[in-house]
Amino acid sequence: MGSRKFSITGARYCSLVGDFNGWSPTENSAREGYFGYDDFGYWFIILQDKLRDGQEADKHYFQEYNYVDDYDKGDSGVDAEELFKQIDKEYWEPGEKWVRKSRLELVAKLYEQMFGPNGPQTEEELGEIPDAETRYKEWKETQKNDSENDQSRFAVIDDGKEHDIFDVIDDPISKEKFRAKKPPIPYWIEMRKGRKAWLKKYMPAISHGSKYRVYFNTPDGALERVPAWATYVLPDADREQSCAVHWEPPPEDVYKWRNKKPKVSKSLRIYECHIGISGSEQKISSFNDFASNVLPHIKNAGYNAIQIFGLVEHRDYSSVGYKVTNFFAVSSRYGTPEDFKHLVDEAHGMGLLVFLDIVHSYAAADELVGLSLFDGSNDCYFHSGKRGNHKYWGTRMFKYGDPDVLQFLLSNLKWWVHEYQIDGFQFHSLSSMMYTHNGYAAFTGSMEEYYNQYVDRDALIYLILANEMLHELHPDIITIAEDMTVYPGLCELTTQGGLGFDYWVNASVSQMWLWLLQSVPELDWSMNKIVSVLTSNHQRNDRMLVYVENHNQSISGAMSFAEVVIGKLREQRLESADVAFRGSSILKMIKLITFSLCGRAYLNFVGNEFGHPNKVEFPMPSNNNSFAYANRRWDLLMGKGLHSNLFNFDKDMMKLDEDEQILSKGSAKVHHVNDSNMIISYLRGPLLFVFNFHPEASFEGYIIGVEEAGEYQVVLNTDEISYGGHGMLKIDQCLHRTSNKRSDGCRNSLEVTLPCRSAQVYKLTRILRV
């Protein structure tokens, strides 16, 4: 038996239509004013599974399909009568079980005892009635605790006060004995049939893989929609219309999880990816392609988490997956729900966490497939009027104050964690939902900008509820806030007035690098400006997620940083070897300083770990629906050169964090910033980082201050030949001993060699006691 529930206010008649009933709008339906529709606008449609030929209906009304617990419980083959016998034997003690034939049985027995033919007929036969105390003592004797009498024992209240007839004191021993008993829950669970037993006897009302839609009769005419809670959706050939697919595989085909979730690391190294563009061919890649080809690369590259965007079902592929139409369904472009479970399971087996970029800030304005005008009314899920439409993106805005919308969105979060074992969420574009102007306003950092009439308080309450629910049900889950306005308290506890996120995304760092690369000559770069942007913010540094470039830099009509840098150098008509050296040098330094100076989490977009040379452009009418740029050039890693060198460096940078836990060491201590020489140096944890951004000048014997006296060994050098550098540092220049000369406010100092366009990471290997 199955049921479908819809919260619809604009319809007069609701039904399910599909392959299972010949697309009849009258066979499985509910009408206004009849059973199946209530005063709150909820429609209930019950689909009864059919008894197979030759099978008998269940004798006991409570025998039903086991939807709640493990699907396979109840498939042991033990029938109900045998289970009742086991309950009697293992649960009840002698004398405790007494089945009443009628609710008047006790009354009848008492009446017969007093007034029946065997009772006293005269006062002489009745005899002398003892006083109350004597009668009580005689009755008490019959209530002794012995093995032959297991009836509960009670005592009458007699404290001189007037009591209700139901005031009875039960014996403490009997009370504890009763409380110690455990109800026979396992037997009742077993009483419900597992899938195998159920399917053997009953034929599902909707078979696995059957297509269906929901049908509404509205004042404006008939509508057919894909159910809002559909878990798998398939479009027709021209993708103009879609159908929900009932996804409930038979027991033998259900995915069996093999790997446990990895433990959450203290430092997150996140690999951001899109399934469709992750392959090298000019086509949409699948879940299975990603699991076989990309996951091993991510593991080898040293990342410990993946973050997938564009996963949830969307009609328009060119929207990158952000115009979601079906919130509970994985995109059918990439494969089936079982295929995605396999991907998540494989990732967990490799020690990779799986995060989902969730879009609850808006929805696609699609009417045939999505939620817009779902029941014919304009405010079923969204605000009506201008507030219900994004000012620039053509999307619909949820009305977060509606209990049904809250239930829908919160249930959606729980669904992804429960069904697909998702380890965390990045909440996409919070500024679109937190403000009625959708974040399109000037923000100077003044508190008044965050607490005025343009703030959607219902949206804030939803985010608080989402974080409260997720962390209560799943304490290890990770939630990340993507908010360009840097709303105060994103990562503060909800009990302290915050929104409760674990991390917040600092987008200003990437914007700074793009501005420097595109608009500022290298010699004019300000070291103080770089340090200020990387370390100064209004939120908590220990909750900050940073990146050099994420999908926005490659997809939003822009170019990848490698494309920007290499293209700019080629305009100078340099030799190809010089272009490769200069381009890789600046990219490595940008990555290292962003990775190590600020934040506790780092993100990289797929392909940028090896300096992907192309932007991402999804197929659309403007490019004749071409897939030429909707892929990744994995072939660039096959040979030696710029891209393999960049990958080697990125891999060793991840390895450095794996060994030293840089990201979890707290804030860095910046103690040397020199704009003239373009030098930056800071300490984080046990490591000393020194950067020479000067494009021409190298330095010998450059003095950098350190606190601990001892010997410092170079553990990472961007100028290594294996990273595409010149290898200017010799072996004898990689180990340095401190002098007691004070510098940069530190007690000791080092004299180091700094090649141009390079950075070195030193580790204290031996402490000297002075």
> Of the listed 313, 482, 609, 617, which one is catalytic?
482
DSSP string covering 29-53, please?
EEETTSTTB-TTSEEEEEEPPEEPT
Alpha-carbon torsion angle 358, 364, 367, 368, nearest 10: -60
**Closest Cα to residue 725, out of 621, 581, 537, 535?**
581
Residues, the chain: 770
CA-to-CA distance for 391 and 381, rounded, in angstroms? Answer: 18
Map tokens 């990309």 to a residue.
294
Is 123 catalytic? The answer is no
Q: Which amino acid is at 531?
A: V
Would you put residue 221 in left (φ > 0), alpha (ψ -120 to 50) or beta?
A: left
E strand or H helix at 512, and its extent?
Answer: helix 508-519
Is the distance from CB of 603 to CB of 550 less than 8 angstroms?
A: yes
Name the DSSP letter for residue 676: T
**Closest Cα to residue 578, out of 730, 753, 756, 761?**
756
Distances in Å between the alpha carbon of 302 and those of 138, 595, 649?
81, 14, 11
Alpha helices in 167-217 (DSSP H): 172-180, 185-191, 195-201
CA-to-CA distance for 766 and 561, rounded, in angstroms? Answer: 39
Q: Which amino acid is at 119?
A: G
Q: Kind of pairing, strands 758-767 and 710-717?
A: antiparallel
CA-to-CA distance for 438 and 440, rounded, in angstroms? Answer: 6
Which residues are bridge partners to 692 per DSSP?
679, 758
DSSP string covering 396-464, please?
B-B-TTSHHHHHHHHHHHHHHHHHH---EEEE--HHHHHBTTTT-S---S-GGGTSSTTB-HHHHHHHH
Distances in Å between the alpha carbon of 279 and those of 292, 637, 767?
11, 14, 49
Name the DSSP letter for residue 58: P
Name the DSSP letter for residue 237: T
Nearest-10 crossing angle of helices 576-597, 642-660: 20
Q: Which two tokens stand for residue 652?
A: 């060793």
Is the distance from CB of 261 to CB of 421 less than 8 angstroms?
A: yes
Is the distance from CB of 27 to CB of 226 less than 8 angstroms?
A: no
Alpha-carbon torsion angle 486, 487, 492, 493, nearest 10: -140
The residues near 420 (Cβ < 8 Å, ≥ 6 apart) are: 330, 337, 340, 341, 344
Is the distance from CB of 700 to CB of 753 less than 8 angstroms?
A: yes
Is the distance from CB of 554 to CB of 528 less than 8 angstroms?
A: no
Judge residue 146's burial from the number of C-beta atoms within 10 Å of its C-beta, 0-12 exposed, 13-18 middle, 19 or more buried.
exposed
Is the distance from CB of 743 to CB of 705 less than 8 angstroms?
A: yes
Residues catalogued as catalytic: 482
